[in-house]
Structure 1
């Protein structure tokens, strides 16, 4: 099942969601290596991008082995959004995604992210400014609405399509739900009915069964996986295979998985530098350890060790222990 975004044809309709502090370049490259239709960068603050904040530039980093590179921008002013879009395209982005879905208070208090769904006319000025600023497809990610009394995603989607947005992703919750309760995939169908561009269903899609249900209930053209891929970078490929009746991908086991985790850890240290790399890698190491049911003490040792060589030895020990338990 393929998916088209403007001139780009994706070989899979299973996409990696932008996740703040998670979908950095090393993680996107790893997920892409197993197979994914699209991997989207973590949210980049448009003003910080233009003002050359190093952290913003690193979040927007793209690489040739990502396939079609998508960078997500957030902001509340048309000028910064347009300039930020130009900059990320100049740096290699082939798709610009607009964030209107982040529920975090530090984002919504700044009138960005899902707060823009409360001011749709203003949101449209930002969307239009980005579309006019770049010559690559612009996509939009949002929620059903701000709260249960304001499900306005379909109205915003229609207006966004009219000014040139070429794909829309809907997380099946309102902003006020954050991540509580169950994603409402049926409600996404209202957006599908309102537009002709591809609509992607997001929220609680962790495996093939969930993806199939989301597609059936929403009528969406594809799914976007976020938390379901944490500690399991192969999961998008597993879901794609399951949806299309294909043989499942080979999931690394034992020392092959240890090698994969160690390579990911080493790339993060190289990307961020030793100190920041150790800090940023811990969440990923925790998810990897959780996926193999690592005993608490061994998990703690992996996450607290500071010498990279020691971390790598502990990872090998953890995977060896997991193999013995499985046997």
Structure 2
């Protein structure tokens, strides 16, 4: 099944709440991203048919393969959510989140907290439930462990493989670290060598040098890029061609991203795009002034003019 999802060394877009929505995923697909994932969605919200959540499940026309990433603390609602996702023809797979480090998720009992030893039974039952109910490939995304030094990823990866998971995306930090410190590629490598299913390395991949470092140290099948793609969706092309994208091409990408936001969200997309423009202007000579102007812009025309005339790339 996995062989049909990608060929060669795959590049994934890792889910990132608030950023990797449909318009952003639409852009990265243009640059050679192989597999995209929805933002993390709670199975409870799917079951309750929350309109915002259902909109998050939508994909752009070129997003194939496309996985929906779910988070769960409830087996019954997991079953119902998977049965609903089975009906969506455009969903190519289901990814289970075992890595989210956000405090709200931890308190609610889903995401990275499921890597705690006390939650091992639920970890197993959740994977079983999804694999047994899903008519699509199932993957998981996790971290090295919960507390710093509590390295459980090898054990959990073996369990996931035995239960029928097709591949694993592994972030090289512990849940408690959030994004502090550096991703531990050596630990990812230990997991790669412990299972026969593909492992995708994730964490700190921001340019071609870090990509090569991650691949060489981990021996992973490919990489997943999350924060490294925010403000830099062309990173996938740069990794493919081993070089940088020029300023004017970047400008066209940003304009394309903005138009996709407006198309998807309507006028609200103008305001929602501000955080992306803040990211795009990071390191720009006039970044501070540009961001100030962005925060005052309220129309499509204003934003497009700012991107064309004020943003220095």
The TM-score by the shorter chain falls in which range? over 0.9
Q: 1:94 corresponds to which residue?
A: 92
Q: 1:40 corresponds to which residue?
A: 37
Cα offset for 1:8?
Answer: 2.1
Cα offset for 1:267?
Answer: 1.8
2:290 counterpart (295, 298, 301): 298
Aligned residues: 310
Deviation >3 Å, runs of 4+: 256-259, 291-295
Cα offset for 1:6?
Answer: 5.4
Q: 2:51 corresponds to which residue?
A: 54
Cα offset for 1:293?
Answer: 3.7
Q: How far apart in 1 are the matches of 2:241 and 2:79?
A: 38
Question: Given the alignment of the two structures, is residue 282 of structure 1 paired with residue 274 of structure 2, yes or no?
Answer: yes
Question: Given the alignment of the two structures, is residue 221 of structure 1 paired with residue 221 of structure 2, yes or no?
Answer: yes
Native 8 Å contact 1:146 1:174 kept in 2: yes
Cα offset for 1:213?
Answer: 1.1
Q: How far apart in 2 are the matches of 1:57 and 1:97?
A: 16
Question: Given the alignment of the two structures, is residue 263 of structure 1 paired with residue 252 of structure 2, yes or no?
Answer: no
Q: 2:210 corresponds to which residue?
A: 210
Tell me the secondary structure at the aligned position of residue 142 of structure 1.
Answer: strand
Cα offset for 1:19?
Answer: 0.4
Q: 1:70 corresponds to which residue?
A: 67
Q: How far apart in 1 are the matches of 2:85 and 2:61?
A: 14
Closer, same or farther in 2 for the Cα pair 1:258/1:167, shift >3 Å?
same
Q: How far apart in 2 are the matches of 1:11 and 1:39?
A: 16
CA deviations on 1:281-312 (whole Å, 9 max, x unpaired) are 11111111225443412221023311121111
Q: How far apart in 2 are the matches of 1:12 and 1:37?
A: 9
Tell me the secondary structure at the aligned position of residue 290 of structure 1.
Answer: coil
For structure 1, list consecutive stretches of 5 or more residues without a partner in the other structure.
Answer: 243-247
Q: How far apart in 2 are the matches of 1:252 and 1:44?
A: 35
Q: 2:138 corresponds to which residue?
A: 138
Question: Given the alignment of the two structures, is residue 82 of structure 1 paired with residue 75 of structure 2, yes or no?
Answer: no
Q: 1:15 corresponds to which residue?
A: 12
Cα offset for 1:258?
Answer: 3.2
After superposition, residues 151-300 of structure 1 pair within 5 angstroms as: 151-242=151-242, 248=243, 251=245, 253-254=247-248, 256-275=249-268, 277-290=269-282, 292-300=284-292
After superposition, residues 87-126 of structure 1 pair within 5 angstroms as: 87-91=84-88, 92-118=90-116, 119-126=119-126
Native 8 Å contact 2:127 2:160 kept in 1: yes
TM-score w.r.t. length of structure 2? 0.93
For structure 2, list consecutive stretches of 5 or more residues without a partner in the other structure.
Answer: none
Cα offset for 1:149?
Answer: 4.0
Cα offset for 1:112?
Answer: 0.3
Q: How far apart in 2 are the matches of 1:171 and 1:309?
A: 40
Native 8 Å contact 1:201 1:224 kept in 2: yes
Native 8 Å contact 1:305 1:311 kept in 2: yes
Q: How far apart in 1 are the matches of 2:83 and 2:212?
A: 36
Native 8 Å contact 2:149 2:174 kept in 1: no
CA deviations on 1:157-194 (whole Å, 9 max, x unpaired) are 11111111000011000011110011101011221122
Q: 1:245 corresponds to which residue?
A: none
